Amino acid sequence: MAIAATLATLLVLPFAAALAIALVGGATRAVHSGLAAAASALGLALLGSLAPEVLSGAVMQARWDWVPSLGLDLALMVDPLGLMFAALILGIGLLVALYAHFYLYPGEATGRFFASLMLFQGAMLGIVIAGNVLLLLVFWELTSLASFLLIGFWQHKPEARQGARLALAITGGGGLALIGGLVLLGLLAGSFDLATILARGAAVRAAPLYPLALGLILVGCFTKSAQFPFHFWLPHAMAAPTPVSAYLHSATMVKAGVFLLARLWPVLAGTELYTVTVTSVGLVTMILGAVVALFRHDLKSILAYSTISQLGMLVMLLGMSLKAAALAAVLHILNHAAFKAALFMGAGIVEHETGTRDIRRLGGLAKAMPITALIATLAAASMAGVPPMGGFISKELMLYQTDKLALFGQPWLLPLLATLGAGFSVAYSLRLVAHQFFGAPREAEAHARAHDPGIGLIAAPALLTTLAVLLGLIPMALAAPLVAAVTGVVTGGAPPHLDLALWHGVNLALVLSLAALGGGALLFWRHGALMALWERATLPDAKRLFETALAFADRWVRKGIVALHTPSLQRMLLAVFAVTVLLVIEGALTGGGALPGGRPGLAAPLPAVIAWALLLTACAAVVNEARQRFAVLIYVSVIGLIISLAFVELSAPDLALTQISVEVVTVLLLLLALNLLPKSPPSLSGAPRRWRDGVLAVLGGTLFGGLAYAMLTRAPGESISAWHLANAKPGGGGTNVVNVILVDFRAFDTLGEIIVLGIAGLTIYALLDTTARGAAGARLGTWREDMPHSPERHPMMLLAASRIILPLTLTVGIYLFLRGHNQPGGGFIAALVVAIAFLVQYLAAGFDWSDARKRFGEHQMIGWGVLVAMGTGLAAMVLGAPFLTSAYDYFSLPLIGTFELASAMAFDAGVFLTVFGAVMLALAQLSHIARRAARAHAARIEAEGAGAGESAP
């Protein structure tokens, strides 16, 4: 298989498996776990086929353009570092799938579990094989989300929900910092391509913004890898099912931060800032985690703090910026993945068998479950760094490096503290094993039914422990080539020469190792006394601090929202207008210059002045008589009419046509709505408020009038209009430039607008369709006709005229539509005209008559309109042109002659359908409601009349 196809398959496999599992969510546990295991195994095989070449130095790369303008490519890259992590993710994923199959009970939502697990696997795989930092970010966020789903898998448990939320808040928040950091890094390096960034380390480190980028990236890494002070989410994540803890919170996800530190080592490492920060954070975390782990009682909590401690050690090693330290980190990543996953699985088995995870209730289990005890003991020995385990070698490599770096100028500081941390990890490992499996059973109940589980649960931890042991016995054969190659990549140089062995003679590392072992044993021996001391100390609880901070933020944000976003529309609008007025004043003051510019004006003839005076009068009348609502509609239409006339006069025939037809529809709409609304309610505002609003209104009007005048008396700047005029005919095939702009040059805009209009129409329908229920329905039911009506229900003259007008208006509409590309007209105007033609039928003949004869559905028209418009655009894409490119040609037919057909015509047809559908939907639905109310009213009158008639005799 070609490299690109292999890499793509590798990445897609887990996601495909997640989807497949979700689709067969109702199937049995075996189907779900089988699919997960098969996908992991297949991925592992694919990875295996790449391994020989990658280890010999080749870097597998594949790249597809995604959003090239942002520098975002779908770039995948497998080098030794990626290979090692991918192998861990897939290999442990396979074992976890096996283990989880037996761990979960058949009745549980295994479909959801395995689908989330595979989603996580895909996201994690994406992080380690991404070849573009933006792509890496996408997967990074995805792991936080998948982790949220998995921690909260047992949704009915409050601690699961809280743990999931806490983990999401911390890792998601760190993810935000990481976005800033990596984007900044990409800008500093001049590229988002990972390989390019890695090659430009010197330039990045010299940049003035390097500390900021470093800080943000470190926050991302530290949150994900549970480093102090962000460590506290990890123990709470233990509310997850144990397979999840083994997979996400020990072997893979929490190593994402470590991975990124290793990945960006060539770019970020080496500076004083980096070394001091990363090393000290790692060191503090290592000691803190180890100390706390010694005093926890829950098995998984002990393991969680030990994981924090071990991750701290890895971070510290990477922070030292030394090649040999990086090597120790790489080896320890392998060791830790093996022994920690095995320990978690062992803890899961113990919980399964005894029903408790409290170490104070366990003890002496070695007799009842010897195999589990053996596995856990060997794994814990590796964790403690006891020879001949793999953990001993990596811990020794670590201790060997500690005196190479004088932290804060003190050469003794690092060896001392590292040994202290190692001593505590010896102690908690000892306690974990001894209090669980040895000594006398503390509680009979927990002990009663304990025995070794079947091969299904044992197999995975057994395999991992074997690996942990072999990493100590035959490290050169098992791990050396991989570790060497990975270290070479991490440190950006040649692969180092390796000499992994248990015995290197007596040196500093051996002495420190022995000190740690001895110290650890001592701590464990005095554990009881230390425990009493620990319990007496009051320590800050990080989770409670977090929750206090959250509650604090919540309270103040709420106050801020209430202060800014009052529930009063009047107050908000007042603020909006006042601020706008202030902005215009500020602009006028700072802009300077005289109000009138130098541009000569156009002399207005008398009719224009009269129309202007009418408009002003109508405006005043609208404001003054706003409570006489029907009368106001007349003034409103006068305003609309005069604006239409202004458009005619000022060279905008299309606008005039649109304005006049919209005006008709708007007035019809307001009339229909007023039928149901109060007609002339009393005023609600007192005089002071009216004066205040009046002053603001006059001020605003003066300012905006002045603004318009200042603009109109100045020459326009450079504009792109000349291009549109020049290209309308050759490019768009039409002479009506406005229409060509709408359906061709700026068709994407128009598409958006008709979609908005369609949504408005559907929303209106939804708002009105449900009025029959609840309080609104009750009010509609008691509605009373309160307007004088014509004695004739459907006046004959109007009826006859409307019937004759219909075909004529339709013809006009079609004509306006067809000529729209070259003469004033087009889809918008034609739709409004045709809609008016139909609305006149509703007016004249009534809703029922018209509705019964209507052969179209408005919903479908809106839908088809948008589809047709989009289809036109997509057709252009199919033909290889950008979205919504139009084409036109000339055809000739006998009798009609030569005519032009443009694909933009089809787009305009979509516009027509949507606009027509939306207008009809709004008005027809409104009249439908009014009709229903009127009918209820009539029925009530009749009933009352009948009741009166009966009671009279």
Decide: is 931 part of the binding site for other proteins (CB under 8 A): no
Q: Between residue 336 and residue 355, which ones bind other proteins under the rule CB under 8 A?
A: none
Decide: is 44 part of the binding site for other proteins (CB under 8 A): no
Q: Contact 74/134 with Cβ under 8 angstroms?
A: no
Q: Between residue 803 and residue 832, which ones bind other proteins under the rule CB under 8 A?
A: 822-824, 828, 832
Task: State which of residues 287, 386, 780, 934 lies at the interface with other proteins (CB under 8 A).
Answer: 780
Task: State which of residues 469, 728, 840, 909 lies at the interface with other proteins (CB under 8 A).
Answer: 728
User: Judged by CB under 8 A, which stretch of 252-260, 274-282, 404-412, 659-667 contacts other proteins?
Assistant: 659-667
Decide: is 727 part of the binding site for other proteins (CB under 8 A): no
3 state DSSP class of 952: coil
Decide: is 628 part of the binding site for other proteins (CB under 8 A): no
Rounded distance between C-alpha atoms, residue 385 and residue 422, angstroms: 8
Decide: is 587 part of the binding site for other proteins (CB under 8 A): no
φ and ψ at 2, to 5 degrees? -65, 155
Per DSSP, the residues of 651-693 read T-HHHHHHHHHHHHHHHHHHHHHHHHS-SSPPP---HHHHHHH
Question: Looking at the DSSP assignment, which residues form a beta bridge with residue 891?
Answer: 899
Decide: is 73 part of the binding site for other proteins (CB under 8 A): no
Supply the DSSP symbol for 356.
-
Q: Contact 534/291 with Cβ under 8 angstroms?
A: no
Task: State which of residues 589, 602, 804, 878 lies at the interface with other proteins (CB under 8 A).
Answer: 602
CB of 634 to other proteins, least distance (A): 12
Decide: is 937 part of the binding site for other proteins (CB under 8 A): no
Q: Contact 728/722 with Cβ under 8 angstroms?
A: no
Q: Between residue 690 and residue 719, which ones bind other proteins under the rule CB under 8 A?
A: 693-694, 696-698, 700-709, 711-713, 715-716, 719
Name which of 141 and 693 has its Cβ closer to other proteins. Answer: 693
User: Judged by CB under 8 A, which stretch of 192-200, 305-313, 483-491, 731-739 contacts other proteins?
Assistant: 731-739
Q: Which helix (H) or strand (E) holds 66?
A: strand 60-67
Name which of 174 and 820 has its Cβ closer to other proteins. Answer: 820
Residue in 22, 100, 783, 40 with CA at minimum distance from that of residue 460: 100
Rounded distance between C-alpha atoms, residue 81 and residue 256, angstroms: 12
CB of 845 to other proteins, least distance (A): 23
Task: State which of residues 28, 49, 507, 570 lies at the interface with other proteins (CB under 8 A).
Answer: 570
Decide: is 682 part of the binding site for other proteins (CB under 8 A): yes
Q: Count interface residues toward other proteins (CB under 8 A).
A: 124
Decide: is 786 part of the binding site for other proteins (CB under 8 A): yes
Exposed / middle / buried, residue 222 (Cβ in 10 Å: 0-12, 13-18, 19+): buried
Name which of 75 and 905 has its Cβ closer to other proteins. Answer: 905
Task: State which of residues 653, 731, 863, 871 lies at the interface with other proteins (CB under 8 A).
Answer: 653
Task: State which of residues 577, 815, 849, 883 lies at the interface with other proteins (CB under 8 A).
Answer: 577
Task: State which of residues 176, 273, 531, 676 lies at the interface with other proteins (CB under 8 A).
Answer: 676
Task: State which of residues 448, 474, 604, 877 lies at the interface with other proteins (CB under 8 A).
Answer: 604
Residues in contact with 353: Cβ distance below 8 Å, sequence separation at least 6, in sequence order: 368, 369, 372, 449, 450, 451, 453
Decide: is 537 part of the binding site for other proteins (CB under 8 A): no
CB of 809 to other proteins, least distance (A): 19
Task: State which of residues 764, 798, 799, 810 lies at the interface with other proteins (CB under 8 A).
Answer: 764
CB of 694 to other proteins, least distance (A): 6
Tokens of 237: 């994540």
CB of 884 to other proteins, least distance (A): 15
Q: Between residue 879 and residue 918, which ones bind other proteins under the rule CB under 8 A?
A: 915, 918
Decide: is 561 part of the binding site for other proteins (CB under 8 A): no
Decide: is 932 part of the binding site for other proteins (CB under 8 A): no
Rounded distance between C-alpha atoms, residue 408 and residue 246, angstroms: 36
CB of 722 to other proteins, least distance (A): 9
Task: State which of residues 646, 799, 806, 870 lies at the interface with other proteins (CB under 8 A).
Answer: 646
Name which of 350 and 919 has its Cβ closer to other proteins. Answer: 919
Task: State which of residues 532, 537, 539, 720 lies at the interface with other proteins (CB under 8 A).
Answer: 720
Count Cβ atoms below 10 Å from residue 105 Cβ, excluding itself: 8
Place of tokens 């005890």: 373
Per DSSP, the residues of 70-111 read GTEEEEEEE-HHHHHHHHHHHHHHHHHHHHHHHHS-TTS-HH
Rounded distance between C-alpha atoms, residue 523 and residue 423, angstroms: 8
Exposed / middle / buried, residue 625 (Cβ in 10 Å: 0-12, 13-18, 19+): middle
Task: State which of residues 544, 555, 558, 779 lies at the interface with other proteins (CB under 8 A).
Answer: 779
Name which of 577 and 849 has its Cβ closer to other proteins. Answer: 577
Residue in 867, 877, 869 with CA at minimum distance from that of residue 911: 869
Rounded distance between C-alpha atoms, residue 889 and residue 887, angstroms: 7
CB of 574 to other proteins, least distance (A): 6
Count Cβ atoms below 10 Å from residue 717 Cβ, excluding itself: 5
Q: Contact 264/274 with Cβ under 8 angstroms?
A: no
Binding-residue pattern over the window 107 to 136 for other proteins, x denoting contact by CB under 8 A: ------------------------------
Write a three-state SS string for 456-480: HHHHHHHHHHHHHHHHHHCHHHHCH
Decide: is 945 part of the binding site for other proteins (CB under 8 A): no
Name which of 208 and 774 has its Cβ closer to other proteins. Answer: 774
User: Judged by CB under 8 A, which stretch of 90-98, 323-331, 424-432, 768-776 contacts other proteins?
Assistant: 768-776
Place of tokens 């861990």: 88
Decide: is 251 part of the binding site for other proteins (CB under 8 A): no
CA 400 vs CA 86, 339, 395: distances in Å: 29, 22, 8
Name which of 323 and 937 has its Cβ closer to other proteins. Answer: 937
Residues in contact with 535: Cβ distance below 8 Å, sequence separation at least 6, in sequence order: 295
Name which of 24 and 613 has its Cβ closer to other proteins. Answer: 613
Amino acid code (one letter) for 869: A
User: Judged by CB under 8 A, which stretch of 28-36, 97-105, 550-558, 737-745 contacts other proteins?
Assistant: 737-745
Decide: is 616 part of the binding site for other proteins (CB under 8 A): yes
Identify each DSSP E strand in 829-950 by its residue range. 888-893, 897-902
Task: State which of residues 529, 594, 684, 893 lies at the interface with other proteins (CB under 8 A).
Answer: 684
Decide: is 741 part of the binding site for other proteins (CB under 8 A): yes
User: Judged by CB under 8 A, which stretch of 128-136, 272-280, 329-337, 640-648 contacts other proteins?
Assistant: 640-648
Tokens of 150: 């998995």
Decide: is 677 part of the binding site for other proteins (CB under 8 A): yes
CB of 571 to other proteins, least distance (A): 9
Decide: is 950 part of the binding site for other proteins (CB under 8 A): no
User: Contacts by 26-31 with C-beta closer than 8 Å and gap 24+?
Assistant: 26/111, 27/111, 28/106, 28/110, 29/101, 29/104, 29/106, 29/110, 30/101
